[in-house]
């Protein structure tokens, strides 16, 4: 597998594929090297594999020369869709990779009968908030998210 950040020809086109369990290591490396994304114990291999199995055909990776250069996880609860962990290698941003990944998710959700999709952005991540607003997503000020952890792992 090519090393993250290794040189990619500027004209190389990213190929969008359904994310599989075999993509886990490449996705993990990308997420760990992406500012503004917090990986938690819930992002471990076993949890990710369970998420992909529960939401088949909804999460995607972008690859150039076999290397994961972008990813997004997507699923739904039967009523609403959820996007998590959209990331693109910094050197490759502005080429439409992130937009293509999101469009694939929204199309998969639409095919499943899901019209409304939510995502969470860390309060301090202004770059991500601006990204989503520029793409027509509406920041919600009318709800407050609460979480409960059913274990001793506060990082779940």
The first and second tokens of residue 99, run together, are 């937009």
**Where does residue 13 rank: exposed (0-12), middle (13-18), buried (19+ CB within 10 A)?**
exposed
Please tell me the CATH code under which domain 15-119 is placed: 3.40.630.30
Mean pLDDT of 30-36: 90
**pLDDT tens for residues 3-21?**
555 556 556 799 999 999 9
**Residue in the structure block whose two tokens are 């990986």:** 39
pLDDT at 156 over 70: no
Task: Report whether pLDDT(38) > 70.
Answer: yes
pLDDT in tens, 85-133: 999 999 999 999 999 999 999 999 999 999 999 999 988 889 999 999 9
Block residue for tokens 């962990």: 85
What are the structural domain ranges in the chain?
15-119
Specify the pLDDT at position 1.
Answer: 43
Burial 101-121 (b: 16+ CB within 10 A, else e): bbebbbebbeeeebeebebeb
Instruction: Inform me whether the pLDDT recorded for 2 exceeds 50.
Output: no
In this prediction the pTM is 0.88
**pLDDT of 52-90, one tens digit each?**
999 999 999 999 999 999 999 999 999 999 999 999 999
Confidence of residue 155 (pLDDT cuts 50, 70, 90): low
- Find the helix or strand (DSSP H, E) in which 48 lies: helix 45-54
Give the whole-angstrom CA distance, residue 122 versus residue 107. 25
Distance CA 121, CA 45 (A): 22
Torsion sign (Cα): 125, 130, 135, 137: positive
Residue 68 CB contacts under 8 Å (≥ 6 apart), including other chains: 23, 26, 27, 29, 30, 61, 62
Structure tokens at 38: 């917090």
Report the first-to-last Cα separation within the chain, whole angstroms.
Answer: 29
pLDDT for position 8: 61
CB neighbour list of residue 107: distance below 8 Å, 6 or more residues apart: none
């Amino acid at each position: 597998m090519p090393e993250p950040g290794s040189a990619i020809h500027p004209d190389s086109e990213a190929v969008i594929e359904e994310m599989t369990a075999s993509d886990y290591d490449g996705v993990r490396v990308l997420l760990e090297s992406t500012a503004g994304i917090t990986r938690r114990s819930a992002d471990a291999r076993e949890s990710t594999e369970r998420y992909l199995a529960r939401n088949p055909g909804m999460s995607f990776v972008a690859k150039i020369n076999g290397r994961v250069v972008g990813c997004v996880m997507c699923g739904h609860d039967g009523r609403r869709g959820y996007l998590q962990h959209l990331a693109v290698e910094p050197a490759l941003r502005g080429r439409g990779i992130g937009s293509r990944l999101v469009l694939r998710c929204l199309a998969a959700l639409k095919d499943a009968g899901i019209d409304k999709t939510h995502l969470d952005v860390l309060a301090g991540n202004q770059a991500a908030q601006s990204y989503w607003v520029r793409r027509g997503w509406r920041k919600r000020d009318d709800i407050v998210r609460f979480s409960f952890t059913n274990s001793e792992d506060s990082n779940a």
